[in-house]
Chain A
Amino acid sequence: MSDPNLPVDLPRDAGKRLAELKKLFTSDLSVNEFLLVKQAGFHPLGLVMGSSIYHTGIQTRKWSKSQELTKLTEAMYNARELAMTRMEEEAEQLDADGIVGVRLDVNYYEWGSDAAEFIAVGTAVKAESGVSHRNKLGKPFTSDLSGQDFWTLMQTGHVPQGLVMGTCVYHIAHRGLGQTLGSVGQNVELPNFTQALYEARELAMTRMQEEAERLGATGIVGVRLEEKSHQWGSHTIEFLSIGTAVGDTGASLTLPQPTAVISLDN
């Protein structure tokens, strides 16, 4: 007994909850954020989320070779993508224009070794004017912007297009004994390491940028660079870059000029 309107991807409980959201809205926006989202001409529809539990196994690594672990990269990317897609599907169900305040987390549980839950949560919003604000692909936009940031961005003549990310899991070579001894007492550059890190971060950033280009975005704001070893040991590192792709609406800047004040608050 599945709901024909519900994407096969989503559990039935989600369908029920989403149906109820037609009558009331839920959101994790603060009052300030809520009012600013309303100011920007949007109405919150409901909290939407997507989750995926993924087995991110281990890939054989050469001890002394720096290389990208493509299988792990794919796994990390696909898992986040699945969670994001499910969240977008929930938003579709609500007929939303987009999602603000998306948080993307990775949880590890004791019961599953090498298994990780990737979870995406955000607040679905819809334009009150009825004009569609969906992105180039016809999907609701996603963004990790707060309500304040969302409002400010709209005033600069830009709209969010989607949360974009790129990841690269990289194995950094161990140094051979000879190399280690050779550089004892010398603070010298280790060019192989520099090169490996350079390549890993550039790959992650390039992938993020390619995602933005697919969305037809003009740019990405708020890029964060994160590094995590997860559970792979210190020499295997995931480099994640993530940011919100934005598009230029051609509208002019409508921010008022600032005034100098001295705040008496602590």
Chain B
Amino acid sequence: MTSGNDGDTPAGNLRDTLLSLAAKGYAPSMPARKGSTSDLSIDEALVLHSVGWEPVELVCGAAAFSIPAGIWTWNQGEVVAASAAYAGAMGRAASALQAECRAVGGHGVVGVRVDVAVERHLVNAVMVGSAVAPSGGARPPALPFVSDLSGRDFALLRLGGWDPVGLAFGASFVNAPRRSAAVAIRQSSQNVELTNYTEALYAARESAMERMQSVAGQLGGQGVVGVRVSEGPLPFARHVLRFAAWGTVVKASGRPDQLGPVSVVVPLDDAKLAFDAASLRGR
């Protein structure tokens, strides 16, 4: 929230509100129901509320896939078994998340944090987020959506006439090409492009993105937003490079764009995020 004089918010009498609540001993306004949990920040909860959605439950999905022994020796090309294990773990985790969301009556999961650990013999994918549903109590869909967008992004997306569909992901693991000793020696004293490296890395990135796109296509999306890419050598096999990309698949909802005009503000804060979910617990 920022300060301004033009606001006609009921916050003006928060002091009185609090006093009247205290006088009633903070008695609940409705009979106790089944408790619910959510990891949304108050900002996210409020902004979801403003578009008519409420959090239902904290949900998770996890999957561990094995990587066969012996595949980390320095070969050529892609480490197919590792790519397959990665895809398997992500896919299973996402569907476990979906299943849990369905079980608690959610329409979808927002703010999913994707946590994938690749170990020598193991890919461990974990997804945690908050299941949400519209306040009206409509029937949940057979396949809830999964999205790594924050509650705020979800609300904005819906206002803009788009719906999240699911999570798309793709990964590829490739061996760095070997150079012959002669080539290595020759190149060590030259400033030249190492074309074989360029090609290998280029191809690996392309195939990771290509896999992500094909998942997005299967989900029936029109696009992927907020794609995140992680890449780098594996700590236990430095010659293998990992490329992974994931993002939220979206499609047009057919509702009109309800976003109003944007007003420009000049903040006098020094670089702070307006929505900072991690800092919500304490400070």
7 A-B residue pairs with Cβ-Cβ distance under 8 Å, sorted by A, are: A32-B268, A257-B9, A257-B11, A258-B1, A258-B7, A259-B4, A260-B50
The answer on a CB contact under 8 Å between B156 and A259 is no
How far, in whole Å, are A35 and B1 apart by their CA atoms in the complex? 21
B69 to chain A, nearest CB (A): 35
Chain A residues 223-266 with CB under 8 Å of chain B are: 255-266
A30 CA to B270 CA, complexed, in Å:
8
Across the interface, which residues of A come within 8 angstroms of B230, CB to CB?
A: none
A69 at the interface (CB under 8 A from B): no
B1-57, CB < 8 A from A:
1-7, 9, 11-12, 46-47, 50
The verdict on A67 contacting chain B, using a C-beta distance below 8 Å, is no
List chain A residues, Cβ under 8 A from B5.
Answer: 256-257
Nearest 5 A-B pairs (CB), nearest first?
A259-B7, A263-B274, A258-B1, A259-B4, A32-B268
Q: Which of A258, A260, A264 contacts B262 (CB 8 A)?
A: A264
Residues of B within 8 A of A75 (CB): none
Q: How far is the CB of B272 from chain A (nearest CB, A)?
A: 10
Binary flags per residue of A20-62, CB closer than 8 Å to B gives 1, else 0 = 0000000000101101100000000000000000000000000
Tell me the B residues contacting A by CB distance below 8 Å.
Answer: 1-7, 9, 11-12, 46-47, 50, 152, 155-156, 262, 265, 268-270, 273-275
Residue ID in chain A nearest B260 by CB atoms:
A262
CB distance from A242 to the nearest CB of B (A): 16
**B161 → chain A, closest Cβ, in Å?**
16
Is A260's CB under 8 angstroms from B9's CB?
Answer: yes
Contact-size category for A: 10 to 19
Do A261 and B1 have beta carbons less than 8 Å apart? yes
- From residue A195, how far is it (CB to closest CB) to chain B in Å? 25
Chain B residues near A36 (CB, 8 Å)? 268
Are the CB atoms of B11 and A262 closer together than 8 Å?
no
Return B133 CB to nearest CB of chain A, in Å: 21
**Chain A residues closer than 8 Å to B1, beta-carbon distance:** 258-261
A/B pair count, beta carbons within 8 Å: 53
A64 in contact (CB, < 8 A): no
Asked whether A259 lies within 8 Å of B2 as measured between CB atoms, the reply is yes
A265 to B1, CA, bound (A): 13
A183 interface residue per 8 A CB criterion:
no
User: Given A256-B4, A263-B275, 18 other A-B contacts at CB below 8 A?
Assistant: A30-B270, A32-B268, A32-B269, A148-B268, A256-B5, A257-B3, A257-B9, A257-B12, A258-B1, A258-B3, A260-B1, A260-B7, A260-B9, A260-B46, A262-B156, A264-B262, A265-B274, A266-B273
Q: Is A85 part of the binding interface, using a Cβ–Cβ cutoff of 8 Å?
A: no
Q: How far is the CB of B1 from chain A (nearest CB, A)?
A: 4
For B1, give the chain A residue with the smallest CB separation: A258
Chain A contacts of B6 at CB under 8 A? Answer: 259
Roughly how many angstroms separate A258 CA and B46 CA in the complex, as a whole number?
15
CB distance from B280 to the nearest CB of A (A): 16
| B contact residues around A206 at 8 Å (CB) | none
Restricting to A151-175, which residues have a CB under 8 Å from any CB of B? none
**One of B50, B268, B275 near A35 (C-beta < 8 A):** B268
Q: Are A146 and B270 in contact (CB-based, < 8 A)?
A: yes
